[in-house]
């Protein structure tokens, strides 16, 4: 092995020395070059969003070199024959130019659109990962809030970008945006007149959306993404429970060289997949739809996927409208627009933002958490999350109810009626099912810990009975399962005189106590003790001697034998 580096090469030490003498970064690098990053597939989801954002910045910059954010009417004179001579905005004409007359323009435009979809999708699954593993808990609440803000801004960024090409489809989206904005009580007409520079559609909105889309929102996004990264770096990443992993350490691979290389490869994968999608999968073929006119719309107009839930909400809403003051010129509340536009988004975003604080209020848990929960081990949180996904999913599906009706030959009206029921029933049902599944999975963990795992070896006992021999689980898997921790609970027990503890007495306090009791506590203890017939054979080999009899008292509801090993 002669090719081993024994001293730093000049090419590195020279600049490094130059920088260190001026910036003094040595101490920082000493601490951080070998910073440990824990490994788990789910930790990669956020990186998809991060790298898509980088791709968006790069491809977006390319597009600005040709795009003209102007609504000035011109006659099209590009190479797309079917639209030759058609009057259209400069924005649309330049989008066509990028698509047909700039080499690589179509590729980059399609990459930009695909990256936008992947950006939002990556953020969503990343947020779900953080939610379901409780990684938003102290000390990470601030980073969670930054994340919620990022998601909201990404939707606004998507909306403004979608409108820029000024084709018929993007115009339909813009018209709906206007219809929603103008419905706002008191300020609706003012907001639309300020946004559009007068009556809809006016001649300003494209250039205004352009500056929002390429400067203001991405600037804020970039700042928040950086803050998100810095906080993650400073607070160190959470880790899944496992052997040797505690709340006071991080186990994993060092930043330099392994994590760095992996992250680089992962960026390239994201970029490569986006490029592949842009090559082989057509997206938003703006030339098909023609220029925007408020007089036309194409059937089957669909927004980008992340706006689908708002679209679905608008579609299933019953036709409610209130005129507070009758015929006088004020007081119209178009509830069939206001409710779907504001309520689902409000529930989801506000719910996300408040959840860490509500959970802390209910559990009274003020400790730092660096070990991620397995979703099954906090069943109510997981059920709330699944319920929210179902709520979102029903709205999202209903956003395409015309496609569903057409492809599955269902009456369109039936899909809407079904949606009006499902939006309430499905989340409740999802809650119950998810809760039961969590408990079932906890029982299966319990079975593994207290009875071992199936060995595949069948044994015949002297009296003729056949049993399957169970062996204790592998050490690291057992450590993974034993990472479970009971969900904390407030001290809710009443004292001898039946008086609840301070802070749990008013109506709000009683609610808090009841929620804490339901939310917290150990539902299925890991060890269910012995005494289940032939399962004792497994216990013979059980490495851990503790547990057993002391835990008998705790068996309670979970004590009936439902272990999955039978």
Candidate list 268, 406, 410, 511; residue touching another protein; CB under 8 A: 268
SS3 113: helix
217-246 residues in contact with another protein (CB under 8 A) are 235-236, 244
482 binds another protein (CB under 8 A): no
- Our measurement of the distance from residue 368's CA atom to the centroid of its chain's CA atoms, rounded to an integer in Å, reads 23
For residues 175 and 148, the answer to whether their CB atoms sit within 8 Å is no
Candidate list 56, 63, 123, 180; residue touching another protein; CB under 8 A: 180
Which value, to the nearest 10 degrees, does the dihedral of the CA atoms of residues 68, 71, 75, 76 take?
40
Q: Which is nearer to another protein, 458 or 557 (CB)?
A: 458
Q: Which is nearer to another protein, 380 or 480 (CB)?
A: 480
204 binds another protein (CB under 8 A): yes
CB of 148 to another protein, least distance (A): 20
Candidate list 152, 207, 249, 563; residue touching another protein; CB under 8 A: 249
Q: Are strands 332-333 and 322-323 parallel, antiparallel or unpaired?
A: antiparallel
Candidate list 2, 6, 7, 327; residue touching another protein; CB under 8 A: 327
Residues facing 139 on adjacent strands: none
286-305 residues in contact with another protein (CB under 8 A) are 287, 292-301
Candidate list 115, 116, 130, 182; residue touching another protein; CB under 8 A: 182
CB of 273 to another protein, least distance (A): 8
Candidate list 66, 100, 305, 361; residue touching another protein; CB under 8 A: 100
520-559 residues in contact with another protein (CB under 8 A) are 537, 540-541
CB-side exposure of 76: number of CA atoms within 13 Å? 25
Q: Is cis: bond before 202, omega within 30 of 0? A: no
Distance CA 2, CA 565 (A): 56
Cβ atoms within 10 Å of 135's Cβ, excluding its own: 21
Q: Which is nearer to another protein, 10 or 329 (CB)?
A: 329
> Taking the alpha carbons of 338, 339, 341, 345 in that order, is the dihedral positive or negative?
positive
SS3 457: strand
Exposed, middle or buried, 477 (CB in 10 Å: 0-12/13-18/19+)?
Answer: middle
Q: Which is nearer to another protein, 269 or 361 (CB)?
A: 269
80-99 residues in contact with another protein (CB under 8 A) are 80-81, 87, 99
401-460 residues in contact with another protein (CB under 8 A) are 401-402, 412-413, 416, 448, 453-457, 459
For residues 137 and 365, the answer to whether their CB atoms sit within 8 Å is yes
265 binds another protein (CB under 8 A): yes
Sequence-distant (6+) residues with CB within 8 A of 112 are 55, 56, 59, 60, 63
32 binds another protein (CB under 8 A): no
Site size for another protein, by CB under 8 A?
Answer: 132
488-527 residues in contact with another protein (CB under 8 A) are none
Exposed, middle or buried, 283 (CB in 10 Å: 0-12/13-18/19+)?
Answer: middle
Q: Which is nearer to another protein, 174 or 434 (CB)?
A: 174
163 binds another protein (CB under 8 A): no
Residues facing 239 on adjacent strands: 371
Candidate list 9, 24, 85, 319; residue touching another protein; CB under 8 A: 319
The residue range among 15-23, 35-43, 357-365, 502-510 that interacts with another protein, by the rule CB under 8 A, is: 35-43
Distance CA 190, CA 186 (A): 8
Give, as one character, the DSSP assignment of residue 467. Answer: E
Candidate list 79, 211, 226, 350; residue touching another protein; CB under 8 A: 79
373 binds another protein (CB under 8 A): no
Q: Which is nearer to another protein, 221 or 441 (CB)?
A: 441
139 binds another protein (CB under 8 A): yes
36-75 residues in contact with another protein (CB under 8 A) are 36, 39, 41, 73
Q: Which is nearer to another protein, 20 or 485 (CB)?
A: 485
Q: Which is nearer to another protein, 337 or 504 (CB)?
A: 337
Q: Which is nearer to another protein, 196 or 431 (CB)?
A: 196
The residue range among 114-122, 125-133, 333-341, 376-384 that interacts with another protein, by the rule CB under 8 A, is: 333-341
Q: Which is nearer to another protein, 182 or 362 (CB)?
A: 182
For residues 209 and 217, the answer to whether their CB atoms sit within 8 Å is no
CB of 70 to another protein, least distance (A): 14
CB of 385 to another protein, least distance (A): 22
For residues 363 and 489, the answer to whether their CB atoms sit within 8 Å is yes
The residue range among 16-24, 34-42, 116-124, 345-353 that interacts with another protein, by the rule CB under 8 A, is: 34-42
Cβ atoms within 10 Å of 139's Cβ, excluding its own: 13
255 binds another protein (CB under 8 A): no
Which value, to the nearest 10 degrees, does the dihedral of the CA atoms of residues 19, 20, 26, 32 take?
-10
107 binds another protein (CB under 8 A): yes
480 binds another protein (CB under 8 A): yes
For residues 377 and 421, the answer to whether their CB atoms sit within 8 Å is no
What long-range pairs does 443-446 form, CB within 8 A, spacing at least 24? 443/524, 443/558, 443/562, 443/563, 443/564, 444/563, 444/564, 445/376, 445/481, 445/484, 445/524, 445/526, 446/524, 446/525, 446/526, 446/527, 446/528, 446/558, 446/563
């Amino acid at each position: 092995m002669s090719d081993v580096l024994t001293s730093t090469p000049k090419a590195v030490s020279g600049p490094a020395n130059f920088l260190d003498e001026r910036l003094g970064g040595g101490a920082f690098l000493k601490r951080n070059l070998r910073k440990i990053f824990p490994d788990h597939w789910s930790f990669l989801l956020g990186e998809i969003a991060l790298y898509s954002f980088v791709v968006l910045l790069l491809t977006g910059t390319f597009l600005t070199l040709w795009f003209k954010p102007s609504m000035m009417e011109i006659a099209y004179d590009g190479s797309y024959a079917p639209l030759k001579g058609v009057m259209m905005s400069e924005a649309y004409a330049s989008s066509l130019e990028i698509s047909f007359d700039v080499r690589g323009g179509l590729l980059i435009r399609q990459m930009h659109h695909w990256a936008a979809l992947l950006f939002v999708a990556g953020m969503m699954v990343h947020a779900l990962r953080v939610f379901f593993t409780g990684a938003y808990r102290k000390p990470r609440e601030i980073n969670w809030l930054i994340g919620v803000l990022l998601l909201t801004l990404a939707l606004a960024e998507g909306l403004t970008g979608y409108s820029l090409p000024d084709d018929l489809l993007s115009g339909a989206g813009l018209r709906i945006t206007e219809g929603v904005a103008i419905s706002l009580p008191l300020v609706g007409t003012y907001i639309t007149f300020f946004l559009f520079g007068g009556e809809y559609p006016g001649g300003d909105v494209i250039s205004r959306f352009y500056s929002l889309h390429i400067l203001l929102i991405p600037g804020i996004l970039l700042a928040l993404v950086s803050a998100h990264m810095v906080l993650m770096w400073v607070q160190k990443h959470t880790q899944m429970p496992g052997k040797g992993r505690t709340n006071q350490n991080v186990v994993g691979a060092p930043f330099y060289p392994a994590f760095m290389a992996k992250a680089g490869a992962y960026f390239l994968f994201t970029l490569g997949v986006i490029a592949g999608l842009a090559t082989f999968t057509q997206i938003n073929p703006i030339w098909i739809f023609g220029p925007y006119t408020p007089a036309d719309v194409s059937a089957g107009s669909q927004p980008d996927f992340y706006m689908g839930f708002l679209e679905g909400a608008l579609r299933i809403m019953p036709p409610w409208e209130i005129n507070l003051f009758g015929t006088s010129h004020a007081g119209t509340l178009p509830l069939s627009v206001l409710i779907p536009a504001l309520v689902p988004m409000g529930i989801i975003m506000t719910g996300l933002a408040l959840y860490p604080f509500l959970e802390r209020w209910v559990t009274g848990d003020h400790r730092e958490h660096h070990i991620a929960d397995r979703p099954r081990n906090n069943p109510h949180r997981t059920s709330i999350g699944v319920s929210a996904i179902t709520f979102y999913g029903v709205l999202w599906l209903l956003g395409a109810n015309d496609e569903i009706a057409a492809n599955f030959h269902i009456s369109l009206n039936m899909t809407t009626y079904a949606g009006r029921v499902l939006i309430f029933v499905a989340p409740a049902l999802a809650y119950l099912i998810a809760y039961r599944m969590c408990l079932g999975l906890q029982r299966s963990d319990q079975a593994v810990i207290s009875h071992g795992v199936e060995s595949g070896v069948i044994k015949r006992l002297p009296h003729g009975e056949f049993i399957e021999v169970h062996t204790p689980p592998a050490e690291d898997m057992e450590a993974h399962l034993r990472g479970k921790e009971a969900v904390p609970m407030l001290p809710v027990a009443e004292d001898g005189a039946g008086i609840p503890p301070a802070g749990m007495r008013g109506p709000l306090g009683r609610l808090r106590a009841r929620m804490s009791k339901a939310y917290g506590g150990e539902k299925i203890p890991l060890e269910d003790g012995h005494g289940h017939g032939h399962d004792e054979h497994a216990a013979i080999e059980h490495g851990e001697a503790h547990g057993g009899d002391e835990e008998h008292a705790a068996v309670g509801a979970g004590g009936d034998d439902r272990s999955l090993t039978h």
